[in-house]
Amino acid sequence: MSINKVVAGPKEAIQGIQDNMTIMFGGFGLCGIPENAIAAVREQGAKGLTCISNNAGVDGFGLGLLLETRQVKKMISSYVGENDEFERQMLSGELEVDLIPQGTLAERCRAAGAGIPAFFTPAGFGTEVALGKEVRWFNGKPHILEHAFDASFAFVKAQKGDTAGNLIFNATARNFNHAMAMAGKVTVAEVEELVPVGELDPNEIHTPGIFVQRIFKGETFEKRIEQRTVRPKA
């Protein structure tokens, strides 16, 4: 008999979220973000959160919703240039921000999922990123020590999933979702399509269910476009 990890919805999926927790949110820009989970965290009202996400959403959408309600104490991100409220809070000192190279962000997620506590990387040496960090030389190049993330929850979004938590992502929506799914102590997946075990082709599964503790079918996905680019009329 297979394990059933399905929960009724986002409200049940986020149970256990508390003030001052560190939480991962998958997605890149607005592509592949866990929209329903973010909305549920906003409604639940946990404060003082440290959010690990490549982006900080935009005004009124994505993690921008949690910034509006002052639920985020610290953002650990790579790119945050699309959110005016984020900028205002950062410049005013209301929001603590840790900006790190995108590859380092991805590797700190992957390392956490692989059980690697720390690693050396050349990215960021000679910049503010390296301040206070151990430096070692490998093959004639300086590298700085980076630590794997330690997140209580990871919220990810997939196109398809089964009741055992196996996930399939759609194209570039895989982005940070796969690495974060492996890294959270509790990983919650919201999916567009939820199917019984056995209906997914094992060769197409991106994230095995062993990394996922809870899964639910999202009811609505706005899938907003961050910056719409169209061709000029001929």
Q: 1 pLDDT band (50/70/90 cuts)?
A: low
Give tens-digit pLDDT for 86-138.
999 999 999 999 999 999 999 999 999 999 999 999 999 999 999 999 999 99
Average pLDDT over residues 202-224: 94
- pLDDT value at 227 more than 80: no
Closest listed residue to residue 122, CA positions, set 106, 99, 145, 100 = 145
Q: 230 pLDDT band (50/70/90 cuts)?
A: confident
Closest listed residue to residue 222, CA positions, set 72, 34, 3 = 34
14-24 b/e (C-beta count within 10 Å ≥ 16 → b) = beebeeebbbb
Is the Cβ–Cβ distance between 168 and 194 less than 8 Å? no
Q: Pull the structure tokens for residue 196.
A: 């019984």
Hey, what domains does the chain have and what are their CATH numbers? 10-121+150-217 (3.40.1080.10)
Q: 195 pLDDT band (50/70/90 cuts)?
A: very high
